[in-house]
Amino acid sequence: MNDMVRLVDVYKSFGDLEVLKGINLSVKPGEVVCVLGASGSGKSTMLRCLNHLERITSGEVYIENNLIDKRKDDKDLVDIPPERIQALCIELGMVFQGFNLFPHLTAIENVMKAPILVKKVSHEEAKSKAVELLKMVGLEDKADEYPSRLSGGQKQRVAIARALAMEPKIMLFDEPTSALDPELVGEVLEVMKKLAAAGMTMIVVTHEVGFAREVSDRVIFMDAGVICEEGTAQEVILNPKEERTKSFFNKIL
């Protein structure tokens, strides 16, 4: 079975700060991988390297076995046309911590925008799909509301619908509930559970340990730019082997 995404010996530095230190990760079709770890461990940077929002310093990045980045010491080793990279990155839907909705567009317009601009679908087709997706995330009655009139949980559900509108093969979630009030977290996690149950390939950077235990096929624990431990939720969260992992989960469980 081909990998949906793969990172090979990936390093990432910002100036003198080395954030990723040799990351190796592959995710299979339909797999739900939750990435846990303390703030500053490199989790979000790893996601951003996967979808080319950040260029890696060294290593290789693949989407569906297609190379999209190969570098050493901040220099390209392979010349890949930008349009090819863009075509591959469209396969990855990204949901950010801060929603990133266009404030001047209604919920439905936010969902319609990328398919019309990037995929050149008709206005009618984009609208029909957007209505369907807003219904899926439980927001069909908020289609004509602007983001300023939506709660944090509603904004994040619109953001999920917007990512799905591009029909991605894999969804990346970067701490999608960390900016939400506690009582709004559940409504976003329910949508994500629905996606997982439908077979969507997902990489979820999260602090929601309960969600990771319930939904993930595999849990990855990161610390100081490396993957310390990976396995099932049972293995990593409830029976960790590494001292750093044990210390982390002892504090939060």
Question: Which amino acid type is present at position 39?
Answer: S
pTM, 2 dp: 0.94
Alpha carbons 192 and 200: distance in angstroms, whole number: 9
Yes or no: say if 72 and 58 are a contact pair by the CB < 8 Å rule.
Answer: yes
pLDDT single digits (tens) 174-184: 999 988 988 88
Average pLDDT for 11-31? 96
Confidence bin at 167 (pLDDT 50/70/90): very high
Residue 10 pLDDT > 70, yes or no?
A: yes
How high is the pLDDT of residue 2?
Answer: 86
Q: Which pLDDT value is given to residue 1? A: 67
Q: Chain-wide mean pLDDT for the chain?
A: 94
pLDDT (tens digit per residue) in 179-227: 898 888 999 999 999 999 999 999 999 999 999 999 999 999 999 999 9
State the pLDDT at residue 98: 86
137 close to 161: Cβ distance less than 8 angstroms? yes
State how far the Cα of 69 lies from the Cα of 85, in Å rounded to an integer.
Answer: 9
Percentage with pLDDT > 70 across the chain: 100
Q: Which residue has the tokens 């703030």?
A: 39
Report residue 5 as tokens.
Answer: 């995404």
pLDDT at residue number 214: 93
Rounded to an integer, the average pLDDT of 92-105 is 93
Contact 46, 7 (CB under 8 A): yes
